[in-house]
Structure 1
Amino acid sequence: MTFVTRFAPSPTGYLHRGHAFSALTAHRAALDAGGRFLLRIEDIDATRCRSEYDAAILEDLTWLGLAWETPVRRQSEHLTDYHAAIDVLRARGLVYRCFKTRKEIDIGRAPHEPAAPYVGAPLPADEEDARLGRGEAFAWRLSLAAARAALGGFETLTFVEDGAGPDGETGVIKARPETAGDIVLARKDVGVAYHLAVVHDDALQGVTHVIRGQDLFEAAHIQRLLQALLDLPTPTYRHHGLLLGPDGKRYAKRDKAETLRELRAAGMAAEALRADLGF
C-alpha cells in the first residue's frame, strides 16, 4: 500500500513556526516512505477563513521548499459531500437536532470549570416541529447513545498510534469517543464541523497516515467513531510533539505567534528555518 499523508491547515491566519514544523514532518515522512504528500485547505468555517490566508499558505509552503500534488482540495468547494454524509447518519437515526445554545449548555458552570462533554437527546416530535416552525436555529449533534447501540458498544473501537500522544500513548489505542460527548456535526453559522469533513476527506483521498501535532490527539477518538459509523477506513495516526516558543508555550495564531511571512520579511532564509527546526 502506498504511503499517503497530508498537511491540512485552516486559512484563519498566517502560518507560524509550529505549522512549518508540522508540514515539514509530514513531508519528510512521505519522502522517507517513497509515498505521497497532499495539501488540503480546511476552510469550512466561513466566519473565520479568508482568501488572503489561503494564498499565503501556498506562498509560505513553497518558500519552505515543499511540493504537493494538485489540485489542492478545498473543503468549502465540497460541502455537498459532507451534507450527504450527515444524511446517511440521519437516515440511521444517529444524529438529532439540538436547539440549545452554548450559553444554555454552560448554565451553572463556574467560569474556572472546564466545559463538560454535552450529552443530549432528540426533542419530542411535536416540540421539535413547533420550534422548527418558529424558525429556531439548531445544530445536528451525533448521538453517542445511538452510536453505541448501532455498534454494539465501543469496546472494540481502536486505532493505531505510530507516534505518541501527549501522555506517551502509543501502539493500539482504545478509542474513547465518550470523552467528547454528543459533538456538533453541522450548524448554520459554520456549516459542517471539522471532525466529519476530516474523516470524509482522509478516506476519499486515500490517506494512510495522519501526521499532526499532539494537540489533536484527542480528536482521533471521535474521528475513529465516525469512521466506524460511516464505514470508512481508519488511517494510522502519528502525533508529534508541539514546537514551543521562547516562553515555553506552543506557537498559536491566537497568541500572535511570529509568522513565516514576518520571518521572511526580516531576512531569514528558508534553509535557515528548516535547519532551526531540525530539517
Structure 2
Amino acid sequence: MSIASAETWVRVFTDGWRAPAGAEELVNHFRPWLQPDYRFSQPLLRAGVGVEEFGERFARPLFALVPDLRVTVQDWAARDGTLFVEVLVEGTLGGRRVAMPGCDRITLQDGLAAARVSYCNPAPLLRAARPHTQVVAARCGRAPGRARPGPSMIPEDALAFVARAELATNSNDAGWPLTEVYAPDVRLEMIGDGVHQVSEGIAEAGPAVRALYDWIAAHHGRVTKTLIATSADTIVNEVEGRLFNGRHTTTGTEIWRFDEHGKVVHNVIHTALDARPPTHPAAALRALITHPHVAITYLAAQLRERRRQR
C-alpha cells in the first residue's frame, strides 16, 4: 500500500464522517470504497460482512441512537496494508453530549477497505444512556461492580447488561438478544394488556423479538431501562418509554433468568400501554370495555372499603 493510497482513503474517511446527514448517506458514501466481502466489528453493535450488513447492523442502529453523530480524524498512520485512524466520536445521546475517543484499524486491498476493527471504550455511551442507573442500584443496596457472594450465573456487570438491553431496543438491534444473550432453548414470554405470547426456543423467539423491535422503531418509540434487582441467576429491570412521538406511554418490567453458561433461558417482558390511575375516566372506560365483570366488582370493593373508613 502506497502513502498516496493511504492518504486517499483517509480523505474519504474524513469526508464521510465529517457531518453525515444520516445512515443512508454514510452507507452510500462508503459503498464505492468497500470490498464486496468487507468485514467490520466494534463494541456494542453486531459485527458483519458486506455493504448491506454495514448499513443494517452498524450505520442504522448507530444513527438511531445518536442522530447527530460525527467523527473527527485526530491522526493516522499506515504500515504495509493496514491503516490506523485515531478518531473522536461525538454526538448527543439522551439529551447529553457524548465524546468518545477511539481507533479504527482498516485493512486495505487494491485501495478498498477489506476489514475494519474499531477499538474504543463505550463507557461514555453507556453513561449517557443510563444517567440514573447507579442511583437506583445504590437504592437497591448494591454498588456497580461489587462482587456478589456465592456462585453467580448473571453477567458480572448487571448495570452494563441493562444499559446494553436498552441500547438494543432503541437501536432496533434484535440481533443482540438473539445471537449474544439467549440460549437455544430460551423461553420468551411477552405479557401486556390481556395478551400473553409464549415463544419456545430461539426459532420462535426470533420472529417475536424482531417484530417487537421493528414495531417500536416504526412508531418512533424510545425506552429507558433501569436495573432494580439481581440474584445469582436473575436480572430484573424496569421499563419506561414513549411511542408515537410521545403520544403514548409504556411501562413494565423485564426478567432475565440465566443458566450456568451465562445465557438467558427465560425472558419475561411485562408491559402496559398508557397506564393511568383507576380514577382516570379513560382507565375506567377501558376496564369496563375489556373486563366489565372485573371492573365492576373491583369498583364495588373500593366503595365498600370507603364506607367502612367513614
Q: TM-score, normalised by structure 1?
A: 0.24
Name which one, 1 or 2, has greater alpha-carbon Rg. 2
Q: TM-score, normalised by structure 2?
A: 0.22
Could you say which structure has the greater relative contact order, defined with CA pairs below 8 angstroms and 6 or more residues apart? 1
